[in-house]
Amino acid sequence: DQQVKQNSPSLSVQEGRISILNCDYTNSMFDYFLWYKKYPAEGPTFLISISSIKDKNEDGRFTVFLNKSAKHLSLHIVPSQPGDSAVYFCAASEDNDMRFGAGTRLTVKP
Amino acid sequence: DAGVTQSPTHLIKTRGQQVTLRCSPKSGHDTVSWYQQALGQGPQFIFQYYEEEERQRGNFPDRFSGHQFPNYSSELNVNALLLGDSALYLCASSYKSVGQLNYNEQFFGPGTRLTVL
């Protein structure tokens, strides 16, 4: 069952512009949301997270927005850099049970 | 600190065989979770070990079993391999804080690529 969906398999943006990665979920019991970044031949690396009691969390160039009524999560990267090119996974957790989306491949062009 | 390490990096098996994958957690971590990542998919939770016991399990058959040792390292065993078991198997380590898994500190290893022929 696809409780966490990333409907865009890929995204391409120009260096310096904003990257917006989207994620939708179906389980209203999820209480914690995370974004991971994955480079080839490496495991996913934690990027940023947000609790269900918040609607925004910011860490440097990365901001995660949570819209609980729409069951929608987004990651904003501003400004985008070529080193941000990677696969980004959205994940959601309920009682330590974590579900991942299929990932979005972000390419930032110089 | 070597972080999370997994062995082997690649493995080729035939249907019906059994396989054991190994994981050493990051220093200071006591919890190990295993994930299966099929091609084009996100990681799927298999199970989690804490204090040498399986604490949580995802939707995987009993052919998938595991173990955690006193030094917190872990093994994932898969019996009677099927073609569909071909995937990247990821291990992630973390520490439990007051019974709640601290996901911000969950570190993944590079994975073991299993191919079943």
**Nearest C-alpha neighbor of B8 from the set B63, B71, B70, B76:** B76
The mean pLDDT values, 10 residues at a time, for chain A of 110 residues are: 90 98 96 93 92 95 97 98 97 85 96
Nearest in space to B4 (alpha carbons), one of B74, B69, B70, B93: B93
Calpha distance A59→A99 (Å, rounded): 23
Note the pLDDT of residue A41.
85
CA triplet B79, B75, B61: central angle to 5 degrees? 40
CB contact under 8 A, B103 and A98: yes
The span from the CA of B16 to the CA of A96, in Å, is 32
The Cα-based distances of B116 to A36, B10, B89 in angstroms read 28, 11, 13
**Residue B104 pLDDT more than 80?**
no
Task: Say what the pLDDT of residue A8 is.
Answer: 95
Contacts of A100 in chain B (CB under 8 A): 35, 42-44
Q: Do B47 and B56 contact (CB within 8 A), yes or no?
A: yes
* Tens-digit pLDDT profile for residues B12-33: 999 999 999 999 999 989 999 9
What does the alpha-carbon distance between residue A65 and residue A53 come to, in Å, rounded to a whole number?
12
Question: Exposure pattern of A11-45 as b/e (b: 16+ CB <10 Å)?
Answer: bebeeeeebbbbbbbeeeebebbbbbbbeeeebbe
Q: What is the mean pLDDT of chain A?
A: 94
- For residue B110, the chain A residues in CB contact (below 8 A) are 41-43
pLDDT beyond 70 at B77: yes
**Contact residues for A69 (Cβ-Cβ < 8 A; gap 6+):** none
Contact B45 A32 (CB under 8 A): no
Q: What is the pLDDT of residue B56?
A: 86
Does B105 score more than 80 pLDDT? no
Cis previous bond, B110, omega within 30: no
Residue in chain B nearest A9 by alpha carbon: B40
CB contact under 8 Å between B101 and A96, yes or no, is yes
Query: Which residues in A75-107 are b (16+ Cβ under 10 Å) and which e?
Result: bbbeebeeebbbbbbbbbbeebbbbbbbbbebe
Written as one string, the DSSP assignment of B87-99 is: EEEEEEEE-EETT
Nearest alpha carbon to residue A92 among A4, A2, A1: A4
Q: Is the pLDDT of residue B97 over 80?
A: no
B25 shares contact with chain A (CB less than 8 Å): no
Could you read off the pLDDT of B40-71 as tens digits, one per residue? 899 999 999 999 999 889 899 999 999 999 99
Chain A CB within 8 Å of residue B36 CB: no
Q: Confirm if B68 and B52 have CB atoms less than 8 A apart.
A: yes
Q: Are A101 and B43 in contact (CB under 8 A)?
A: no
Which residues of chain B does A6 touch, with a Cβ-Cβ cutoff of 8 Å?
A: 42
- B48 chain-A contacts, CB cut-off 8 A: 96
Q: Is the pLDDT of residue B101 over 70?
A: no
Name the interface residues of A facing B (CB cutoff 8 Å).
Answer: 4, 6, 32, 34, 36, 41-46, 49, 89, 91, 93, 96-103
